Amino acid sequence: MQMCNAMLEAQAALPRQGGAAEVPKDLPRQSLRLLAALRRHHPATADHSVRVATVLLAMWSRRPEAMGDAALVVSAGLLHDLGKLFLPLSLLEAPRGLTEPEMQAIRAHPVTGAETLAALRFPEPVVAAARDHHERWQGGGYPTGLPGDRLLPLARAVCVADSFVAMIEPGRAYRPTLSVAAALAEVEACSGTQFDPDFAHLLVEGLGPAFQAELRLDLPPGQHFPAPPGQLGTGVAGLLPSHLLERALRLPPCPW
């Protein structure tokens, strides 16, 4: 039932315009609608997605020309794990090792997310980020195993941002939580093998104190980002606790 409801919510967010190459004007609204559906299904995944978008914005702030429009970058971060919208909570919150069929289901989420975003006519860089964020710079990742030079730049940026956030955020039962300093050292160690060296460098150089504060790592496991006062349950309003992300998405100053 949860998965059926999630699919209906995703379909309800279908943009009505054609697949233009430029950034659609309603990209922020459509992105936040899907983020809202993801939060209703699994708040921890939505929180992770907000953190990934924050890290991507830190990288973008160092070299905007390497990553494209800020709204497109943030949208890719917010929606890279959209495929988890269609996974049961029993898999997303399993406190044990997964069986091989369960691992295959988890590893299908990049393709599911990309197919959903393509059907909803999201720009290709956002679709590619969802499909390719578990690929590796030297190849051998999933779902395709392609090397990094065959991937779009924004997808390569999401690869490093997603892995970094997974290392530092709380509530990961299958791995210890690293400090920001230790995770940055791991990114540097994996530069040129798992990660695109240029984007690994951008992450290490760009994640200053302001962006670290926006990550909200002080939240205990299971507690999601709070909405601003008076905005709880108001549709897409109040989904982004970060003023940096709101500005990047060029959101209006009041709820809509």
Catalytic residue among 41, 80, 84, 131: 84
The answer to whether 84 is a known catalytic residue is yes
Say how far apart CA 28 and CA 74 lie, in whole Å.
9
What the block records as the tokens of 225 is: 């980002």
**CA 114 to the chain's CA centroid:** 12
Question: Can you state the angle between helices 153-168 and 70-79, rounded to 10 degrees?
Answer: 50
| Cβ neighbours of 28 (radius 10 Å) | 24
Give φ, ψ of 71 to 5 degrees: -65, -35
CB 57 within 8 A of CB 247: no
Nearest to 50 by CA among 26, 68, 23, 32: 32
- By annotation, the residues acting in catalysis are 84
